[in-house]
Amino acid sequence: MKSLFVLLLSFIAVTINAQDGTGASSVNRKVWLAYMDKVARPVIYNLSTDQLKAKMPVALSKTIDNKEHRSKVAYLEAFGRTLCGIGPWLNIEGGSKEEVALRNQYREWTLKAVANAVNPAAKDYLQWTGGQPLVDASFFALGLVRCPWLWEHLDKTVREQVITALKLSRSTMPVYTNWLLFSGMVEAFFCKYDMDYDAMRIEFGVREFMQHWYTGDGMFSDGMNFHLDYYNSYVIQPYLSSIMNIVFQKNENYKQFIPKLDKINKRYAEIQEKLINADGSFPATGRSIVYRGGAFQHLADMALRKSLPESLKPAQVREALAAVIKKTLSLSGTFSNDGWLNIGLCGEQSDLADFYITTGSLYMCTTIFLPLGLPDTDEFWTAPAEPWSAVKIWSGQNAKADHALDLH
């Protein structure tokens, strides 16, 4: 099925261009919606019709560690990550007539998709037990956290099945890394919606990061060791922010950590913005690089939360993220002939895949669309275009010096 928004894709090459420094807006909300629709539609629509397993091709990394298991869990990967990215947009109201119609369609599909994902009698019932399913159960939980509308509109039976499915993830012991936050996010979901939750699964992960694993200058190590990758953005900082805010609203726990995390988050947002080159490319360093724009979930999340540092104007973040969207999603080979994402960062690049990567993994890229959860009247969308740091610096414009964050 195609929408009017998909037709916009033929114009994207000329509609989105890297900021030229003139102040002219290079992107608009419709183009973001067109890209989001292009990525999310195959997953959400097919799961809503109980055909995701029948229709989604499962490409695997050449170095895959367990072909049979990875193939089975790829579908939860695709759904959990897609929901995590589009959840804020599903949750809001308003917009143009076309956007409202598109959102209403997605809401209808997503309600059915969730029902099939957690119904043991459905063909598309997803696998909720095992190592990888803990990861993607947490993305699914985060999607529901980001979209109260969805949780409120699920019928009683489906809600009970969601709860059962998420509880199955408790059988997996998380690895002593960012995985602690996956267990924590599932429990944060239960906490948010006033159900019994295991506070220890939240407490352990939060305290390890906030008391032991902060390395300095806005970044955490991923467990005992620091890695120069994007896991501070893929998982750590968005998860910590969401988990701590949920718990704080219930019982004011983590009051001592929240101001510190706010400073850390703001500094890392500055770093992320500076990593985006003038053409929308960014350093392809570290594992999971085929998550494409998911590398900037943190920056997108900070914009959504309206928590950007004073040094970053919403319009410059919008332009920077738009350049990443174009760079990572517009090249020939990015999508299969049937519209599914191919493995790669810029086009189809199978050798970039780590041993755990499947087609489902790639849908982490939807998290770059989090600012669509801001209404179209928000400054993020209405302010005139602003050049981001790389554009200013590499076009000879003046720019402020960068300084590290030292917490005392």
Average pLDDT, the chain: 94
Closest C-alpha to 172, from 200, 118, 123, 131: 131
What are the residues facing 311 on neighbouring strands?
none
How many domains are there within the chain? 1
Residue 399, domain member (yes or no): no
- Own/partner pairs, 339-345, CB within 8 angstroms, 24+ separation: 339/38, 339/41, 339/42, 340/42, 340/56, 340/57, 341/39, 341/365, 342/59, 343/59, 343/61, 343/290, 344/290, 344/292, 345/284, 345/289, 345/290, 345/292
Alpha-carbon dihedral sign for residues 209, 213, 214, 218: negative
Count the Cβ atoms, other than its own, within 10 Å of residue 253.
17
Residue 404, domain member (yes or no): no
Q: Is 237 left (phi over 0), alpha (psi -120 to 50) or beta?
A: alpha
What are the residues facing 358 on neighbouring strands?
60
pLDDT tens column, 135-166: 999 999 999 999 999 999 999 999 999 999 99
Residue 403, domain member (yes or no): no
CA 126 to chain centre: 20
Domain CATH for 319: 1.50.10
| Euclidean distance between CA atoms 229 and 235, whole angstroms | 11
What are the residues facing 335 on neighbouring strands?
341
Residue 402, domain member (yes or no): no
pLDDT tens column, 39-77: 999 999 999 999 999 999 999 999 999 999 999 999 999
Closest C-alpha to 56, from 124, 133, 128, 130: 124
Residue 348, domain member (yes or no): yes
Tokens read off for 160: 């009970």
Gyration radius of the chain's alpha carbons = 20
Closest C-alpha to 295, from 304, 307, 287: 287
User: What pTM, to 2 d.p., does this model score?
Assistant: 0.94
Residue 279, domain member (yes or no): yes
pLDDT tens column, 13-42: 434 444 444 333 334 899 999 999 999 999
Boundaries of domain holding 180: 4-394
Residue 408, domain member (yes or no): no
The whole-number pLDDT of residue 28 equals: 87
Residue 378, domain member (yes or no): yes
